[in-house]
Amino acid sequence: MIWLTLRQFRTQATTGFAALAALAAVLAVTGPGLADDYASGRSACTAAGDCSTFTGQFFDDHQMVFLALIALVLLLPGLVGLFWGAPLIGRELESGTHRLVWNQSVTRTRWLAVKLALVGLATTAAAALGSLAITWWSGPIDKSAADELPRLSPLVFGARGIVPVGYAAFAFVLGVVVGMLVRRTVPAMALTLAVFAAVQVAVPLLVRPHLLPPTRATTAITGANLKSLMANTADGSVRLRIKPPETGAWILSQRTIDASGRAVGDVKVSLTSGACAPSQGAPTRDACMAEINRLGYRQAMTYQPPGRFWSLQWCELGIYALLTLGLTGFCFHRLRRLP
């Protein structure tokens, strides 16, 4: 049974691991140079006393590759479910070859267990190796992008650390379940991709923010922590956003409050006279922020600190592990009901 499963899976495994080996070789060759460039540039700007320009330029120079690798890691589990999971049982049921195996003194349970174990092991190994290599290579870029795209942000979080292993295992078993239910390979592949994509959108929006209690802070608005400011001269209002108290934090919500603690959409401040007026050219940012603070405006923020990255990774991995185990149990339950 093991030999048969390996023979059926050899084409997909060879293709997948060959592509993974090629990617790992490219990352291994280019990674040390990338790390050296970041370290030398960081040393030079630290000696000069300002690294904001260097980090921004470093991220801009490598942004396309950075985003491409993120997309690759996020797509990999879906492809595993699509091409490894859905056809694994669905194709056998569609063609009827499962009956031949069951008539060769191989029990249904053993047949399914061997298939899930061997292909599932290959799935988790591929996801672990790919995530490890890309996380290592992207380390310098992650540091330079801490202000704009921190590791805790939904886009980056799912492409780092250990959670891609959970995604891949879940997508694989999800594909197996859908294949057993639909019993048609192509429809099962399409449905697997749709369900997995829906879960991957729902978890960062609805589940991950609540895995750990967030930190809440009310912060003064200053020129140092100001991130963006948009002025509307028509109604004399200013809409602003500030940086989180900790670099690399994941901001869950941010709102401006007035002196009484009431949430307001915009800051009401004079744009025709006073510290925020542009009549003498561009207003001094610090002076305008001081005026906003004098009026009692503050920024209330809810966020996950960057130090919780690994805690959130383990929590989310646990959720996907439970989902995977539940789907695996359903596979064996469903198998007993097949004609």
What are the tokens at 112? 């399914």
How far apart, in whole angstroms, are the C-alpha atoms of residue 339 and residue 337? 6
Residue 273, CA atoms < 13 Å, CB-side half-sphere: 0
Retrieve residue 264's tokens.
């307001």
The DSSP letter of residue 259 is: T
Q: How far apart are CA 126 and CA 253, in angstroms?
A: 36
- Cα gap 335→51, rounded to integer Å: 60
Write the burial class of residue 319 (CB in 10 Å: 0-12 exposed, 13-18 middle, 19+ buried).
middle
Neighbouring C-beta atoms of residue 95, cutoff 10 Å: 11
Angle between helices 52-80 and 185-202 (to 10 degrees): 140
The Cα–Cα gap between 339 and 330 comes to 16
Beta bridge partners of 268: 237
Classified as helix, coil or strand, 50 is coil
User: 125-129 contacts: CB < 8 A, separation 24 or more?
Assistant: 126/16, 126/17, 126/20, 126/76, 126/80, 126/168, 127/76, 127/77, 127/80, 127/164, 127/165, 127/167, 127/168, 127/169, 128/162, 128/164, 128/165, 129/20, 129/24
Nearest to 203 by CA among 240, 170, 237, 238: 170
pLDDT of residue 281: 46
**H/E segment holding residue 331:** helix 309-335
Do residues 195 and 174 make contact, with C-beta atoms less than 8 angstroms apart? yes
CB 126 within 8 A of CB 168: yes
pTM assigned to the model: 0.85
| β partners of residue 300 | 218, 255
**Which residues are CB-contacts of 304 (< 8 A; sequence separation ≥ 6)?**
152, 209, 212, 214, 215, 249, 250, 252, 312
Find out whether 78 and 68 touch, Cβ atoms under 8 Å.
no
- Which positions of the chain have pLDDT values less than 50? 280-283
pLDDT at position 102 is: 60
